[in-house]
Amino acid sequence: MLGSFWLLSGSGHDYEVSAGQLALFAAFGQNYVASAAGRLDPPMWSLVVEVSFYAVLPLAGWVLVRCARRGRMVAACAGLAGLGVAWSAAGALLAWPETAMSTLPTFLPVFACGMAAAALAHRRVPARAPARGLMVSGAVLVCADAWWHHQGTGMTGHVVRDLPAALGFAAVVATVAARPPAVLSRAPLRGLGTISYGLYLWHLPVLLWLRFEGLMPGGFVLPWLEVTALAALVAYASWVLVERPAIEAVGRWRPWTRRVPSFPAELHVKPVPSVA
């Protein structure tokens, strides 16, 4: 947040905010204020939704555990997704402001897909052929969702949003969790996974700074390479100077917390039992 403020300070662009608004971003409240929503570092909007989810997770977890004891875990996740779709439908029909739609209820279907994937993958190892089929099907859903939104979705898209992509990613994640591909153990991918969170948060401020300073070349390939390389360097510095020390500090406060991985992060793969 402070890095984005420093990069954009004095640019005069719409993304720039005043120092007095930083407290709002620090409290994860920018989504609820129209003058701050989507500014400073636009990807941070998702953190507001995630923090909201963590706040209600104890209650949601209690409900889901009770459903799991009755064998209705996936049905409960489907119910959560239905509530989110109903919320989005009401917002689209009643023209609610964006500050009402950038909230947790809108994205309940996405979280529900993730919880359903965890429930389905728990202690289940699919055979190799079904796992590949599930992986391919998930990838097709993600690409189809991108193509659908690119073509224009109308009212249906405002209601369903990216639920097809969420289902596709859930299928891919459940498959990878059950049968981790060997390629994931390669150092370059493990390194990318280590800095991926910082790369997600830093890439747009870096892009905007390059554009404001007139350092962005023309075309597509060169700008993409420039932004990717610089954002990766900044994300690595962020991991070394901010993220890893913060995790280590929490580890000293909570000794039972998992130790901080090295760079690139270690990949712990459980042995896959044979499947008849």
> Residue 227 to residues 6, 146, 192, 198, 265: CA-CA distances in angstroms?
18, 22, 15, 14, 23
- The pTM for the full model equals 0.81
Please indicate, yes or no, whether residues 19 and 155 belong to a single structural domain of this protein: yes
Please indicate, yes or no, whether residues 33 and 143 belong to a single structural domain of this protein: yes
**Model confidence at 24, in pLDDT bands (50, 70, 90)?**
very high
Please indicate, yes or no, whether residues 174 and 215 belong to a single structural domain of this protein: no
End-to-end CA distance of the chain: 51
Please indicate, yes or no, whether residues 220 and 264 belong to a single structural domain of this protein: yes
Domain region containing 142: 2-184
Assess contact for 168 and 140: CB atoms under 8 A: yes
> Residue 191 to residues 101, 165, 264, 267: CA-CA distances in angstroms?
35, 25, 4, 10
Q: What average pLDDT does range 63-89 have in this prediction? A: 87
pLDDT at 276: 35
Please indicate, yes or no, whether residues 149 and 205 belong to a single structural domain of this protein: no
Q: Tell me the residue type at 265.
A: A
pLDDT digit string, tens, across residues 143-196:
999 999 887 888 888 899 999 999 999 999 988 888 888 887 888 888 998 999
Please indicate, yes or no, whether residues 140 and 189 belong to a single structural domain of this protein: no
pLDDT at 273: 44
Distance CA 77, CA 67 (A): 10
* C-beta contacts of 14-19 below 8 A and 24+ residues apart: 14/39, 15/39, 15/40, 15/42, 15/208, 16/40
Q: How many CA atoms lie within 13 A of 114 on its CB side?
A: 6
Total domains, the chain? 2
Closest by alpha carbon to 158, among 250, 95, 88? Answer: 88
Instruction: Copy the structure tokens of residue 93.
Output: 């029909």
Residue found under tokens 């997704």: 81
Closest by alpha carbon to 201, among 12, 10, 50? Answer: 50
Please indicate, yes or no, whether residues 100 and 203 belong to a single structural domain of this protein: no
Closest by alpha carbon to 236, among 184, 189, 194? Answer: 194
Please indicate, yes or no, whether residues 201 and 169 belong to a single structural domain of this protein: no
107 Cβ partners below 8 Å, 6+ apart? 49, 53, 84
Domain boundary among 168, 184, 200: 184
Phi first, then psi, for residue 194 (nearest 5°) are -65, -40
Q: What average pLDDT does range 98-118 have in this prediction? A: 92
Distance CA 138, CA 131 (A): 11
Assess contact for 266 and 259: CB atoms under 8 A: no
Instruction: Copy the structure tokens of residue 59.
Output: 């209650």
Please indicate, yes or no, whether residues 190 and 171 belong to a single structural domain of this protein: no
Please indicate, yes or no, whether residues 154 and 204 belong to a single structural domain of this protein: no
Distance CA 233, CA 206 (A): 11
Please indicate, yes or no, whether residues 209 and 119 belong to a single structural domain of this protein: no
Domain boundary among 150, 165, 184: 184
Domain boundary among 166, 184, 202: 184
Report percent pLDDT > 70 for the chain.
91
Please indicate, yes or no, whether residues 101 and 56 belong to a single structural domain of this protein: yes
Mean residue pLDDT across the chain: 86
